[in-house]
Amino acid sequence: MIKKLPALLIVLALVVAACGDDDGASTTTTEGEAVTTTTAAPTGQGEAGSTLATIQERGVLICGTNETLPGFGFREADGSFSGFDVDYCRAIAAAVLGDATAVEFRPLTAAERFTALQTGEIDVLIRNTTWTQTRDTTLGAHFAPTTFYDGQGVAALGSKGFDSDSTIADLDGAIICTNAGTTTELNINEAIQLAGIADNTTVQTFEDFDQVMNAFQAGSCDAITTDKSGLISRKATAEPAAFRDDIVIFGVTLSKEPLGPMYRSDDAQWGDIVDWTVYTTFIAEEKGVTSANIDDYLANNPDDLEAQRLFGAAEDELQTGMGLSADAYYNAIKQVGSYEEIYNRNLGPDTVFNVPRGLNSLWINGGLFYPPPAR
């Protein structure tokens, strides 16, 4: 009990900070992130190494995610969750619990997400979250390898004279809308200043992106801005078709937005487990291993010692040393799939989004994914 008291005080300090109340010790950035010099220690699970034990005891992974971003994190009409980020929650559950369905999805807005991670309300945050220096160094958290390389974009309506060649300077006098608690908000404010249009131009923020889209559709916003993946997702699912077809995404990219899972930094074992779940999806794609062929692959490729180790079929496997079962990453691939499968299922050519792989390709295909060797 005595041991728990400081943790409680830290939680309270973070909650106060997240609500924007500057008490001198803690401050919030315009992203709504709790930034504190003395209370950044993670508070959720206490002892290092205990996240895994907590999840195993609970029998369920609690994954913070989006519920309003089709293709990444979305709550379907029947209450189920879908999306690229959601599948990474499932892959971690498969690795840790042997069951990709053992996940409780906790929908979070951008402004809520970091407090939920810090207080231990969630085990991991996978919600189109950009890896930045502030978030990496002041929130008591770390990032897993990037799963989606993105960049910030802007969209407006063709009927108002915009097209894909439009620039930030063309937004002089406009109302530009986005959601609060994001890197987006910071980047757009910098961009309008650099374009010399800040005096005339308004950046308006909303709690979530559904509100942004509603205001855009109602004509209260001249332009919207967020990660380009988000713009593609929102355009593809906008109704009615006349509005959807009128939305144009500018060619310009305002920033780098490397998106990936985020976890508390007090528990290195947990961080390794999440990191290697991500690497395993890359390695599986490198080898052409899929959920459908993994058993045949292991049976037919006894000389691929790396695969035999990573998927738990060899004596010198490394997963048990990480606190997992030997077949942890076999389960992740068997039940959820390789990076390519996760990508195609949610964003690929057969989906309404059809997002080109671009930077989100393996190094052997000209992209940025270069997983370390599993040895």
The verdict on 346 binding ligand GSH (CB under 6 A) reads no
Among 17, 69, 117, 247, binds ligand GSH (CB under 6 A): 69
User: What does the per-residue mask of binding to ligand GSH show for 226-265, with x meaning CB under 6 A?
Assistant: xx--x--------------------------x-x------
Residue with tokens 């964003």: 347
Distance CA 177, CA 216 (A): 8
Q: Quick one: which of 26, 66, 281, 319 contacts ligand GSH (CB under 6 A)?
A: 66
Q: Which is it for strands 26-28 and 34-36: parallel, antiparallel or unpaired?
A: antiparallel
Minimum distance of ligand GSH from residue 151's CB (angstroms): 10
Residues in the chain: 375
Quick check: 105 binds ligand GSH (CB under 6 A)? no
Of the CA atoms within 13 Å of residue 119, those in its CB half-sphere come to: 18
Q: Which of residues 114-143 bind ligand GSH (CB under 6 A)?
A: 128-130
Considering only 141-149, 224-232, 335-343, 353-361, which stretch makes contact with ligand GSH by CB under 6 A?
224-232
Is 209 an interacting residue with respect to ligand GSH (CB under 6 A)? yes
CA distance 140 to 185: 22
- CB nearer ligand GSH, residue 69 or residue 141: 69
CB contact at 8 A, 89 and 63: yes
**In the bound complex, which residue of the shown chain has the CB atom lying closest to ligand GSH?**
230
* Interface region with ligand GSH, contact rule CB under 6 A, candidates 48-56, 141-149, 223-231, 265-273: 223-231
Q: Taking CB under 6 A as the criterion, which residues in 159-188 touch ligand GSH? A: 179, 182-184
> Could you tell me which residues are beta bridge partners of residue 106?
64
Q: Is the Cβ of residue 183 or residue 338 nearer to ligand GSH in the bound state?
A: 183
SS3 call for 213: helix
Edge-to-edge order in the sheet of strand 68-69? 68-69, 73-75, 81-82
Residue with tokens 């969630």: 122
DSSP secondary structure of 37-61 = SSS-S--SS-STTHHHHHHHHHTSE
Per CB under 6 A, residues contacting ligand GSH are 66, 68-69, 109-110, 128-130, 179, 182-184, 208-209, 226-227, 230, 257, 259
